[in-house]
């Protein structure tokens, strides 16, 4: 089935908690879909220089409204490959579906940062394992010391500092992203 | 002939130590004026800046062993021990990454506080008991060490030294609470750094080292002479399992130590806590690297000067080198630094024990205490924790005077898996947590050489330090936690007894999400993967050989 030939129905209850998403094929059958799938196919969030967010929408059938105070919004959009328009919405007025997509992205980022930095930290603090696993690496003189001594010492201090600095910058930035989406950075 | 080393003139040492104690009391008294509530007393009002916190973190972690024990172990184990020490710097970054910031966001006083909210009261009592035992073992080693330094310095009986020294320590910690402890710890770290690194530079210069101006890394010109006299100094004499076991025993073990986690809860905000982590790695790294240099210099001194050191004096190598190469006032400064190292760790341990007793045990029985009564409870818990440590140190039971490093493994088995999975996996429940803490914790104690010498996994040093036990029991703890949780979550009669929805919302909340999403941190596949990997390591640990 060609995704781009689908007619979409999006029904959003604006209490920001309940969303129903349906894709419908041209033949008329309705297919329930997840918000992420819906968004990944049809909405490409962008940020302009003025700080406003733009949602890529169908030109032929634009959404009736997308305001901050919407009580109940229904939109039916048919995507066109050739012509698109952009609807500007104030960042404070994120539609719930977009917010959820961003949250999912931030959540995945959080998981990957945690796993990735754990691997890097373990590597920097346990480089000795490398020299045990591959004895051929031992005995080379680096900065006047045997390699199996000085590399773990330097990586366990200076290498670790570099990793921790990057970790600090990225995780602080991630917290900012979550905060912008109504999250709580400090105490709950 | 081996010579027994003794302090020639303690006068300068007494002056330096007295001056430092006067300062600690002043800081404690001055700081406590800001403590208006329990939050202030146990978490310094969550107001400590990143530099002071980073210094405090490093200081709490750097015990008397930095000055005394480590150098002796480098003399004995050589490079493998350096590997063991290097990975300790990972503790705070990993704690911050895995649970420090979520628990700070939750407003926790101790990791047991989180366990209570996540797994219920009974589990928190079990975990708090293990934590108190671990902290007591930790504090006991320091208390005995400080008493021995006092004994040497003042020439008094051990018991008198212990009671006087212990009372002085408990006094300033109780008065100052976390405010005083934090600022004192920051000062103690500076004192430690100055007292350790600068005299080390002078020792290296006297030994002929050209890199004396930066002792932590610049001693390569001494390496050829070392290799000539001690050819096996850089040898990696143990098997793969020995080095790998450092991860479950000490890296994950350190993640279960409550006094380290508590440092993150004192931060002004999460960003400040993360910046403190950078400072921690800097101060920890520079002092640890200097410690390896001191150990190297000790071996070098023994090998090149032809002066044998009595086995009982090996842990005094820092003091011996300073007495040989530096003037008496420098040795006095080093002694003050060593005592500061002991004090910073004891004070963090006592704060943890006090907070566990006051916040995780007493406050659960009496949740509605008035503020002034809470204050009395706080002070009593702190003083009581100190008093217990002193009394136990007077005639310590043999099973408590095991290596502090063994206690790391116990923390890795009984605390870390519960907190890590509790923060990151919604399916973790109290049945899994209790099974993990009790069965894996019990197994760890059972396979230690201190309880059942015939049941140890590896024997020798790995068993004494808890490395072989942790290699088995840390994955066992993760395995029990995941499997029992997944099984019991599929038994409706058991699930009905759990506040499952509230638990799941707590997980989302501490990660900063206000809008709940069932999908987050709720992967069954992740649970299965953790179980499978843990099972592999349990089997590997049980297989003989490899050490």
The verdict on A115 and A163 lying in the same domain is: yes
Higher pLDDT: A96 or B448? It is: B448
Q: Which residues have CB under 8 Å from B543's CB, separation 6+? A: none
CATH number of the CATH domain containing B153: 1.20.1730.10
Same domain assignment for residues A75 and A151: no
Across residues B500-525, what is the average pLDDT? 88
The answer to which of B5-19, B378-392, B413-427 has the lowest mean pLDDT is B5-19
**Residues A85 and A60 grouped into a single domain:** yes
- Do A125 and B285 lie within an 8 Å CB cutoff? no
Identify whether residues A82 and A143 lie together within a single domain. no
The answer to the question of residue A186 being in a domain is no
- At B181-197, the pLDDT tens digits run 889 999 999 999 999 99
Ranges A34-38, B100-104, B317-321: which has the least confidence: A34-38
Is residue B207 included in any domain, yes or no?
A: yes
Q: What are phi and psi of A55, to 5 degrees?
A: -115, 130
Residue A117 lies inside a defined structural domain of this protein: yes
Q: Same domain for A43 and A114?
A: no
- Which residue is closest to B239 within chain A, CA to CA? A132
Considering the domain boundaries, does residue B335 fall inside one?
Answer: yes
| A80 & A112 share domain | no
Domain of B71, in residue numbers: 11-542
pLDDT digits (tens, 9 = 90+) for B344-384: 888 888 888 888 888 878 877 777 777 778 778 888 888 88
pLDDT for B437: 94
Share of chain B above pLDDT 70, in %: 97
Tokens at residue B543, please? 């297989």
* Same domain flag for A29 and A77: yes
- Residue B491 confidence (pLDDT) above 60: yes
pLDDT value, residue B532: 97
B289 closest CB neighbour out of A148, A157, A167: A157
Looking at residue B52, its pLDDT comes to: 92
- pLDDT given for residue B319 in this prediction: 86
pLDDT at B322 over 80: yes
Q: Which domain holds residue A104?
A: 98-180
Which among B95-104, B293-302, B472-481 has the top mean pLDDT?
A: B472-481
Question: What DSSP assignment string belongs to B127-156?
Answer: HHHHHHHHHHHHHHHHHHHHHHHHHHHHT-
Domain assignment of residue B228, yes or no? yes
Nearest CA in chain A to B86: A156
* Alpha-carbon distance B500 to nearest alpha carbon in chain A (angstroms): 19
- The mean per-residue pLDDT over the stretch B292-314 comes to 83
Cβ separation B274–A171 shorter than 8 A: yes
- Do residues A130 and A84 both lie within one domain? no
Pairwise CB contact (< 8 Å): A125 & B251: yes
User: How long is chain A?
Assistant: 188
pLDDT greater at residue B70 or residue B100: B100
**Mutation choice for B interface testing from A156, A166, A183 by most B CBs within 10 A:** A156
Residues A89 and A135 in one domain: no
Regarding whether A141 and A106 lie in a shared domain, the answer is: yes
pLDDT of residue B507: 92
Do B355 and B263 form a contact (C-beta atoms < 8 A)? no
Residue A188 lies in a domain: no
pLDDT for residue B534 is more than 50: yes
Predicted pLDDT of residue A72: 31
Comparing alpha-carbon positions, the chain A residue that sits nearest to B108 is A187
Q: Considering A61, A93, A125, which residue would you say is the last residue of a domain?
A: A93
Q: What is the pTM of this model?
A: 0.82
Structural domain tally of chain B? 1
Determine what percent of chain B is predicted with pLDDT higher than 90: 35
A37 and A71 fall within a common domain? yes
In a domain? residue A48: yes
| pLDDT by residue, tens only, chain A of 188 residues | 343 333 344 444 334 443 445 544 445 555 555 555 555 444 433 333 333 333 333 333 334 444 433 333 333 333 333 333 334 344 444 566 777 777 788 889 999 999 999 999 999 999 989 999 999 998 899 999 999 999 999 999 999 999 999 999 999 999 888 877 765 555 55
With respect to residue A149, please indicate whether it lies within any of the assigned structural domains. Answer: yes
- Answer yes or no: do A106 and A119 share one domain: yes
> What average pLDDT does the segment B400-429 reach?
89
Residue B132, domain member (yes or no): yes
Q: Chain B residue closest to A155 (CA)?
A: B86
**Predicted local distance difference test score (pLDDT) of residue B438:** 95
A76, A93, A110 - which closes a domain: A93
Give the dihedral sign, CA B219/B224/B226/B232.
positive
Residue A147 counted as domain residue: yes
Which H or E run contains B301? Answer: helix B270-305
Mean pLDDT of chain B: 87
Q: Examine residue B43 and state whether it is found in any structural domain, yes or no.
A: yes
Residues of A in contact with B249 (CB under 8 A): none
Specify the number of domains making up chain A: 2
Helix axis angle, A96-125 relative to A160-180, nearest 10°?
170
The pLDDT, as a whole number, for residue B412 is: 94
Query: Is B121 domain-assigned?
Result: yes
Quick check: is B547 in a domain?
no
User: Tokens 């760790």 correspond to what residue?
Assistant: B345
Residue B30: pLDDT band with limits 50, 70, 90: confident
Residue at which a domain ends, from A38, A67, A93 = A93
Please state, in angstroms and rounded to a whole number, the distance separating the CA atoms of residues B385 and B350: 6
Q: Which residue among B105, B240, B275 sits closest to A168, beta carbon to beta carbon?
A: B275
pLDDT at A67: 41
Rounded-to-integer distance, Cα B522 and Cα B428, Å: 9
Cβ contact (<8 Å) for A144 and B243? Answer: no
In a domain, B6, yes or no: no
Does any domain span residue A187? Answer: no
pLDDT score of A44: 39
């Amino acid at each position: 089935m060609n995704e781009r030939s689908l007619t979409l129905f999006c029904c959003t209850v604006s209490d920001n908690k309940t969303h129903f998403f349906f894709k419908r094929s041209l033949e008329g059958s309705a297919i329930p879909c997840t918000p992420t799938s819906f968004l990944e196919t049809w909405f490409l969030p962008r940020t302009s220089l003025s700080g406003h967010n733009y949602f890529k929408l169908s030109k032929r059938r634009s959404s009736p409204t997308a305001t901050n105070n919407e009580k109940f919004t229904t939109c039916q959009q048919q995507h066109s490959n050739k012509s698109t328009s952009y609807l500007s919405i104030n960042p404070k007025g994120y539609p719930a579906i977009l917010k959820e997509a961003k949250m999912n992205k931030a959540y995945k980022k959080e998981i990957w940062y945690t796993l990735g930095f754990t691997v890097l930290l373990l590597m920097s603090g346990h480089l000795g394992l490398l020299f045990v696993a591959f004895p051929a690496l031992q005995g080379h003189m680096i900065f006047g010391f045997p390699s199996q001594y000085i590399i773990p010492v330097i990586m366990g201090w200076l290498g670790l500092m570099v990793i921790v600095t990057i970790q600090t910058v990225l995780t602080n930035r991630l917290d900012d992203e979550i905060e912008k989406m109504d999250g709580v950075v400090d105490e709950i | 002939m081996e010579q027994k080393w003794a302090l020639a003139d303690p006068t300068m040492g007494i002056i330096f130590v007295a001056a430092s104690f006067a300062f600690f009391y002043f800081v404690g008294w001055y700081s406590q004026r800001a403590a208006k509530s329990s939050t202030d007393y146990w978490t310094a009002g969550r107001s400590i800046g990143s530099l002071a916190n980073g210094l405090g973190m490093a200081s709490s972690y750097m015990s008397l062993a930095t000055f005394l024990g480590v150098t002796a172990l480098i003399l004995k184990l050589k490079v493998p021990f350096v590997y063991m020490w290097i990975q300790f710097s990972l503790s705070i970054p990993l704690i911050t990454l895995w649970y420090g910031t979520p628990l700070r966001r939750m407003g926790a006083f101790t990791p047991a506080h989180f366990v209570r909210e996540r797994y219920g009261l009974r589990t928190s009592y079990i975990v708090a008991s293990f934590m108190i035992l671990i902290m007591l073992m930790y504090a006991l080693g320091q208390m005995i060490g400080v008493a021995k330094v006092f004994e040497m310095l003042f020439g008094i009986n051990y018991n008198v030294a212990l009671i006087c020294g212990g009372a002085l320590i408990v006094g300033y910690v109780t008065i100052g609470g976390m405010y005083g402890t934090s600022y004192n710890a920051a000062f103690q770290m500076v004192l430690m750094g100055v007292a350790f690194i600068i005299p080390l530079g002078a020792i290296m210069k006297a030994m002929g080292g050209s890199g004396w101006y930066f002792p932590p890394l610049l001693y390569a010109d001494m390496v050829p002479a070392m290799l000539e006299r001690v050819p096996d100094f850089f040898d990696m004499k143990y098997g793969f399992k020995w080095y790998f076991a450092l991860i479950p025993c000490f890296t994950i073990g350190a993640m279960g130590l409550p006094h380290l986690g508590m440092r993150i809860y004192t931060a002004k905000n999460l960003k400040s806590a993360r910046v403190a982590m950078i400072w921690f790695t800097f101060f920890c790294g520079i002092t640890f690297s200097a410690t390896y240099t001191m150990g190297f210099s000790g071996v070098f001194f023994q090998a090149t000067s032809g002066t044998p050191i009595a086995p009982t004096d090996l842990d005094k190598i820092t003091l011996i080198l300073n007495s040989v190469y530096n003037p008496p006032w420098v040795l006095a400064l080093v002694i003050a630094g060593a005592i500061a190292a002991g004090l910073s760790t004891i004070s963090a341990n006592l704060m943890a024990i006090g907070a566990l007793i006051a916040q995780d045990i007493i406050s659960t029985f009496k949740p509605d205490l008035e503020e002034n009564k809470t204050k009395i409870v706080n002070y009593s818990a702190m003083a009581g924790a100190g008093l217990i440590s002193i009394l136990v140190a007077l005639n310590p039971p043999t099973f408590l005077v095991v290596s502090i490093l063994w206690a790391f493994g116990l923390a890795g088995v009984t605390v870390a898996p519960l907190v890590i999975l509790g923060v990151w996996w919604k399916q973790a429940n109290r049945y899994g947590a209790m099974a993990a803490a009790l069965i894996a914790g019990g197994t760890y104690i059972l396979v230690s050489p201190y309880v059942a010498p015939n049941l140890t996994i590896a024997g020798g040093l790995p068993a004494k330090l808890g490395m072989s036990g942790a290699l088995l029991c840390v994955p066992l703890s993760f395995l029990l936690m995941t499997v029992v949780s997944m099984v019991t979550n599929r038994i409706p009669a058991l699930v009905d007894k759990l506040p499952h929805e509230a638990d799941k919302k707590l997980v989302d909340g501490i990660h900063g999400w206000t809008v709940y999403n069932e999908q987050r941190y709720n992967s069954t596949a992740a649970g299965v993967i953790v179980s499978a990997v843990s099972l592999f390591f349990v089997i590997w640990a049980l297989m003989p050989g490899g050490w």
